[in-house]
Structure 1
Amino acid sequence: MKMKKLLSLTLVTAMVATMSLTGCGSKEEAPAETPAPAESEAPAAPAESAAPAESEAPAASGESYDIVVMPKLIGIPYFNQTGEGAEKAGKDLGVNVIYNGPTTADAAEQVKMLEDYITQGVDAICVAPNDPAALDPVLKKAREAGIKVLDWDTPATEDLVDASIHQISDKELGEHCVDKLVEYMGTEEGEYAIITGGLSAANLNAWIKYAREYAEEKFPNLKLVADPYPTDEKQDVALSTAKDVMKAYPDLKGFICMSTPAPIGTAQAVRELGLQDKVTVVGTCVEEDCQDVLSDGSLDCGMLWNTQNLGYLTVACAKALLDGNTLSNGATIDGWDSPLVMENDKIVVMGPPDDYEKK
């Protein structure tokens, strides 16, 4: 019998303002005029040592820029919320934010749209690639045209970007998903499956990689029944896929779901089959979208980060680079009160996830 616990909402500290993972990231108001993220467990320079980012060639005061922020797709809650944060940053920082992307998770459509923006002569492109390799030629073209290139949410090829904005440590999230799966299964053994968004999504693949490695090392009696099942970032596909998996593996004890529509669709499948007390579901989802499936135990734990702040930080970093600043660990930039936390000279990490559990 699966252990179902009534747990209070766990608030995990984060670097970003207003952060209370969808990953359990709640939809909050976009950051105040200058977001002030909470303290992060991630290493950052002490406040007293934080200094403004080093400037290479500062732009004239008040200069405006055209900054493209492209999600994997538009029209789903997660990317609606990141868009709100990006647009708020544009207003606060005095830059023109163009938030646009394909209507489906289509790398070819992203390439076509980016080609158009390069022709228009925008100042910066910030993209969450559906397929990093497919975007290599167009990102190279953008850099050759003098356009600043950043990735966000999902990494592109590292040597083709000026900065990479990560919502979280990939390793931390992957391991956290496994810990939550085991906690709610109430056992360290049994069969589980992984439901993902797209098989080419670098961020999802990284989370899955770390989750599998961690599970194999720490919980050797957990058995992954098959390679991850793709759902194309669609909730209805996750629902039908999860049903098929549970029918194929009647002894299945749990799912780890990567991509925000996947946990909700999977939980709906568990509900429709009446398996809430047998099958555990954990994964990344938007807080307000998961309340229904949390309430009856179909979903055990959702997780995410503050989505608005991810969009905001992306624009703030793009503007800093356009102003001629160098991003560095412990530095501060306009619009972002907390010192930057960086894994290397390109990767900016926002902070740890929040968990959403039945109250």
Structure 2
Amino acid sequence: MKKGLIVLTLVLVLLTTNVFALKFFFIPKMIGENFFEVAGKGALEMGEQLGVEVIYDGPSEASVSEQVRYINTAINMGADAILISSNSPTGLNQALKRARDRGVLVLTWDSDVTPSYRDYYINQGTPDILGRLLVQMVENQIGTIPTGETLKVAFHYSSPTVTDQNAWTNVAKEIIKNEKPNWEIVTTQYSDMNFPKAVSTAEQILNTYPDIDAIICPDSTAFPGTAKAVENLNKSGEIAVVGFTTPSVIKPYIERGTVLQGGLWDAGLQGAASVYVAYQMLENNVTYEVGDSFTIPGVLGEFDVLANSEQGYDKEFDDLDKNGLIVLPERLIFTRYNVDKYNF
């Protein structure tokens, strides 16, 4: 009788602990910032749908060394996959190599590492797409500059080393250089994804260049920080402030007329897609080949699989096996006419 009870107990334990569940670590650049919280929520919800354990955690400030620590923790805790938005294009490479050497699947999302140290990059849009979108949002507000006049522009974002924002900025600067002869880039400043610092940095830009026409902020903290600085200095309506952040963060500034347009992509979908792709690869042995397109149940639009060189990488990275960019279906522009439609 005791033997039967022991066997029954063991069966119940196996059923309730779900020992075969996959374990994914979803690591943002930093926790507490709205963009990453929205992405984390999407990842957790997709994990629930698929029966995957998703652990969302990361550093409290944008730190490469802290992300390395979280990667090592994930390895030690038996991660099946690490899904990470990197604070550096190269600073996480060796930590991720250790993970892959132990059989851990590595996907990046939002911000990439060197392609040979991950499998796929769940990509919000190539630098060409997003760099041009930044310029377009300024043009939408400023219009055509009369001959002989100069449009003075500043860039303000998190860091000179962060992967994604620098890639978009470089493209935007090339577009300005080659296509906008009467635009002048007067400065580029950084504020480390710290909101008070973003406000003070933007105030310094505005005070140093009182005749500035536009500030471009490809960073979800610098963008609202710059809008706040414009309001602090009573310059609303005088300067075009554009950039990327979640609609819920920029909505108050749009409602007050300080910001006319802001852009982004569905951060929650980016988190969910990261978990979905990792699950399909590990559970169903799905391989995503460059040139493929696929859909996710319940999501409008197709995800395209592109070569790494579309992100600006050397062609040599296109030869990596089971590797490339997986691009979200769409980018968004928020205005006073549509910002209420979005709930993230």
TM over 0.5: yes
Q: Distance in 2 between matches of 1:357 and 1:237?
A: 26
1:288 equivalent in structure 2: 248
- Letter aligned with residue 213 of structure 1: E
1:315 aligns with 2:272: no
CA contact (8 A) 1:301 1:355 kept: yes
Q: Distance in 1 between matches of 2:189 and 2:225?
A: 13
- Letter aligned with residue 204 of structure 1: Q
- CA displacement 1:77-126 (0-9 Å, x = unmatched): 11110011000110111111011110100110010111111122211111
Higher relative contact order (CA closer than 8 Å, sequence separation 6+) = 1
**Structure 2 residue aligned with 1:220, among 177, 181, 189?**
181
CA contact (8 A) 1:185 1:279 kept: no
1:144 equivalent in structure 2: 101
TM-score, normalised to structure 2, is 0.82
- Letter aligned with residue 190 of structure 2: P
Root mean square deviation of aligned Cα: 1.8
2:56 equivalent in structure 1: 99
Name the CA shift for 1:335/1:317 in 2 (closer, same or farther; >3 Å).
farther
- Letter aligned with residue 326 of structure 1: T
User: 1:336, CA displacement in angstroms?
Assistant: 6.2
Name the CA shift for 1:273/1:339 in 2 (closer, same or farther; >3 Å).
closer
1:256 aligns with 2:213: no
1:353 aligns with 2:309: no
1:342 alignment partner, SS class: strand
Q: Distance in 2 between matches of 1:273 and 1:339?
A: 44
1:153 aligns with 2:110: yes
Flag the structure with higher helix content: 2
2:213 alignment partner, SS class: strand
Alignment length (residue pairs)? 297
1:9 equivalent in structure 2: none
CA contact (8 A) 2:107 2:278 kept: yes
Percent of aligned positions with the same letter in both sequences? 30
Larger radius of gyration: 2
CA contact (8 A) 2:302 2:329 kept: no
Name the CA shift for 1:76/1:326 in 2 (closer, same or farther; >3 Å).
same
Q: Distance in 1 between matches of 2:105 and 2:278?
A: 7
2:170 equivalent in structure 1: 209
Name the CA shift for 1:170/1:352 in 2 (closer, same or farther; >3 Å).
farther
Name the CA shift for 1:235/1:64 in 2 (closer, same or farther; >3 Å).
same
CA contact (8 A) 1:295 1:358 kept: yes
CA contact (8 A) 1:263 1:299 kept: no
1:134 equivalent in structure 2: 91
Q: Distance in 2 between matches of 1:287 and 1:334?
A: 24
User: 1:210, CA displacement in angstroms?
Assistant: 0.9
- Structure 1 unmatched runs, 5+: 1-61
Q: Distance in 1 between matches of 2:299 and 2:260?
A: 33
Name the CA shift for 1:78/1:209 in 2 (closer, same or farther; >3 Å).
same
Q: Distance in 1 between matches of 2:35 and 2:296?
A: 25
Q: Distance in 2 between matches of 1:336 and 1:190?
A: 40
CA contact (8 A) 1:169 1:352 kept: no
- Structure 2 unmatched runs, 5+: 1-18, 308-322, 338-344
1:173 aligns with 2:130: yes
2:330 alignment partner, SS class: coil
